[in-house]
Chain A
């Protein structure tokens, strides 16, 4: 099963910015909207970004998403200790007719 490629980990000091990339193909990211999910330790994933850049109610604007071609990006600005979590991108794959998640990125606040 195809997966989207993310860096295993990123880190930064409190208040700084991190960027998480998500690389796919023409049949997934290139053909559909991207969502991002935050998974705090020991909890279920939580929707963070949908339709490439939209935020659900209650998600602070420190989190922002974008997409270009077959790649997507999640930016977290003003990093806080509570942002330490695993982050996953996801999209529907039209050729596989399955949903694919990214490999996941662990964010560490130094």
Chain B
């Protein structure tokens, strides 16, 4: 059975840093794409970042240079290091699996990040 569990969210001041974690079971992070997708309160979905099975990483323009995605294959986890946080980064952050086909078939329940100004 596939499970995706995010953690690490919370209340943080503007300009601060936070590290989110995505723990998965039922598939290997080294054999799949893992993305972070966020949803601001009352708003739509926004893709944030991905780490490919080969380790390559990509980011949305809105977070490029501030966020870093990484993985720990021994722990089967994916992390999102978020620096220089802004009020507009306030959102629920979801972790989702896909392949090269960009089909997000498994999602976590999300973790809420609130950036206070």
Contacts from A to B (Cβ < 8 Å): 1, 3, 32-33, 35, 37, 39, 43-47, 50-51, 56, 86, 88, 90-92, 96-104
Contacts from B to A (Cβ < 8 Å): 35, 37, 44-47, 50, 58-62, 94, 96, 101-105, 107-110
Is the beta-carbon distance between A1 and B108 smaller than 8 angstroms?
no
A87 CB to nearest B CB, Å: 11
Is the beta-carbon distance between A92 and B102 smaller than 8 angstroms?
yes
**Interface residue SS majority, chain A:** strand
Cβ-closest chain A residue relative to B103: A50
Is the beta-carbon distance between B62 and A1 smaller than 8 angstroms?
yes
Checking A33, A50, A86, A101 against B47 with a beta-carbon cut-off of 8 angstroms, the contacting residue is A101
Cβ-closest chain B residue relative to A98: B60
A-B contact count (CB 8 A): 66
Asked, given contacts A45-B107, A56-B105, A99-B50, whether A88 binds B62 with beta carbons under 8 Å apart, the answer is no
Asked, given contacts A1-B62, A44-B94, whether A99 binds B105 with beta carbons under 8 Å apart, the answer is no
A30 CB to nearest B CB, Å: 15
Checking A45, A47, A98 against B45 with a beta-carbon cut-off of 8 angstroms, the contacting residue is A45
Given the complex, which residues of B lie within 8 Å of A3, measured CB to CB? Answer: 44
Given the complex, which residues of B lie within 8 Å of A101, measured CB to CB? Answer: 37, 44-47
Q: How far is the CA of A101 from the CA of B94 in the complex (A)?
A: 14
